[in-house]
Structure 1
Amino acid sequence: MSASSGAQKATSKFFDRLFSKESLRYLCTTHFWGPVSNFGIPLAAILDLQNKPPDMISGPMTGSLIVYSLVFMRYSLAIKPQNYLLFGCHFVNEIAQLGQGYRFVMYKYVNDDKKTQVSADQKKVNN
């Protein structure tokens, strides 16, 4: 058996499994589309980690999203059948929201001396 026939066999097997009745049935369930549509939340949080200034972060909303993702990570494993796609979505969101929370805490509570310096400099410019 040549390498190319082995690759063809593997490719054929992959596509047979991908387009099987079970796979297509799964694609038509909320077990698939719920997490897929939910992935907008962690994607937005990841983009905000790079683009949003820390003074624009809402502490209460970030805290709520941290708790929300923890709850749904647990829920995704408690249901039968377990939904690993939902778990992955909320795991990514948890990491992103913890990053946002870290930025918020550093800006709001840790770097107070830098904020007062910036506001003092702005007052000098305005006067």
Structure 2
Amino acid sequence: MSSSRVGLRFFQNSRAAFRNASAPFRRQGAQSRRWQSAEAGEQQTIFQRLWNSPVGVKTVHFWAPVMKWGLVIAGISDFARPAEKLSLTQNAALTATGAIWTRWCLIITPRNVLLATVNFFLGCVGAVQVSRILMYRRSLNDGSSVEAAKDIEAEVVDAAKSVVEKTEKAVEKAIEKAA
């Protein structure tokens, strides 16, 4: 049996399964069941409630959290990396993003609990990584948290200065081209 035959059979079987699952949505007479309320004597299945939900599978409110789990998984996989190879600014940004968006997802309408959950875990993973980095840097300075804080401050200042320099160079080039 060829592999194309197997693929065709899979396609036909999945199509039939989808048709059976979507049977309640087919037209019946002049009115579609899709627009009838559940109070009309028909209970919706879990699939129908998920499909018709304002944060259901048809919307970005579902797919954004699904894709964002990739960041959480990447952060968890970084637990195996040594702390000296982790970026403090990147993990601090992930922590802040997780904290801010967890709150925001519970305020917006429709309230998106799936996105709030993934952002909460993103913030937790970032906080764990930031604490690992800070503990590592503290151990380098013989337990002095003041010196570790000064090192972190110097790193942030250096990064900001390089951004300012790059921006100034880009502005100078833009002015030269315009002149």
**Do the two structures share a fold, i.e. TM-score over 0.5?**
yes
Identify which of 63, 72, 94 aligns with 1:42.
Answer: 72
Structure 2: any 5+ residue segments left out of the alignment?
A: 1-43, 144-179
Query: Residue 91 of structure 2 aligns to which amino acid in structure 1?
Result: T
**What whole-Å deviation, never above 9, does each CA across 1:82-102 have from its counterpart, x for those lacking one?**
100001101111111111011
Deviation for aligned residue 1:18 = 2.4
* Alignment of 1:31 onto 2:61: yes
Deviation for aligned residue 1:75 = 1.0
Query: Residue 45 of structure 2 aligns to which amino acid in structure 1?
Result: R
Identify which of 107, 112, 118 aligns with 1:83.
Answer: 112
Structure 1: any 5+ residue segments left out of the alignment?
A: 1-15, 115-127
**CA–CA distance in 1 between the matches of 2:73 and 2:61?**
19
> Aligned Cα RMSD in Å?
1.7
**CA–CA distance in 2 between the matches of 1:19 and 1:66?**
34
**CA–CA distance in 2 between the matches of 1:86 and 1:79?**
11
**CA–CA distance in 1 between the matches of 2:139 and 2:102?**
30
Q: Secondary structure at the match of 2:45?
A: helix
TM-score w.r.t. the length of structure 2 is 0.51
**CA–CA distance in 2 between the matches of 1:17 and 1:92?**
30
**CA–CA distance in 2 between the matches of 1:63 and 1:110?**
19
Query: Residue 61 of structure 2 aligns to which amino acid in structure 1?
Result: H
**What whole-Å deviation, never above 9, does each CA across 1:54-85 have from its counterpart, x for those lacking one?**
11110111111111111110110110111000
Bigger Rg over Cα: 2
**What whole-Å deviation, never above 9, does each CA across 1:2-40 have from its counterpart, x for those lacking one?**
xxxxxxxxxxxxxx62221x3124111111001110111
Identify which of 121, 126, 130 aligns with 1:92.
Answer: 121
Q: Which has the higher helix share?
A: 1
TM-score w.r.t. the length of structure 1 is 0.70
**CA–CA distance in 2 between the matches of 1:57 and 1:112?**
18
Identify which of 10, 18, 21 aligns with 2:46.
Answer: 18
**CA–CA distance in 2 between the matches of 1:82 and 1:43?**
24
Deviation for aligned residue 1:110 = 3.3
